[in-house]
Amino acid sequence: MNNETLKQQNITEIDRICSLSPVIPVLTFNSLDEVLPIAEALVKGGLPVLEVTLRTDIALEAIKLIADNLPDAQVGAGTVLNPEQYEAACEAGATFIVTPGSTTELLKHALTQQVPLLPGIQTISELMQAYALGYKRFKFFPAEVSGGVNALKAFAGPIGDVRFCPTGGIRLNQQQTI
């Protein structure tokens, strides 16, 4: 499969995943005993898209537990920092990958993978770098301290065909499609 096809599939799949849930809970597990009860409750409550951060030693096991036991869940790996973590998350069953920021190495690596990437950006320069590689869907992190909705509106001025999943400091009364 060529890069252009993978780029379009990435956009389509990220759009599909994001459309399944009004918000994406970002989860950090410290005990495997809590994984399935929390994930089941979220899915049952109408939040089938879950991001498990790779901030603990059990994160990959948590992703595998969810992937193996909750067929209605879309479990992604968050806080992915390098291609090795990307690969490990895919092997654990992640259906999407989320990064807090964007390195050229990680952006290019993801373009060779079937599991789509939602790259993190904070600045217009990071947005432009990822956009130049074909990305059009982004995690905006940390959203609130980086300008929130006003920053996203400003980004959309020069680059209007992108969409964002803001994370970090967003409150219910600020939720809107950007």
Residues 116-145: pLDDT tens digits?
999 999 999 999 999 999 999 999 888 888
Q: Say if 131 falls within a structural domain.
A: no
Q: Say if 88 falls within a structural domain.
A: yes
In this structure, what CATH number is given to the domain that contains residue 76?
Answer: 3.20.20.70
pTM greater than 0.75: yes
Closest CA to 45 of 70, 28, 17: 70
Q: Say if 168 falls within a structural domain.
A: no
The better pLDDT of the pair 173, 62 is held by 62
Residue 17: both structure tokens together: 């995943």
The better pLDDT of the pair 143, 2 is held by 143
Contacts of 48 (CB under 8 A, 6+ apart): 20, 21, 42, 72, 73, 74
User: Is the pLDDT confidence value at 2 over 80?
Assistant: no
Indicate the DSSP class of residue 168. S
Contacts of 44 (CB under 8 A, 6+ apart): none
Number of domains the chain is built from: 1
Residues 46-94: pLDDT tens digits?
999 999 999 999 999 999 999 999 999 999 999 999 999 999 999 999 9
Domain of residue 111, residue span: 3-125
Q: Say if 7 falls within a structural domain.
A: yes
Q: Which residues are catalytic?
A: 51, 139
Q: Say if 160 falls within a structural domain.
A: no
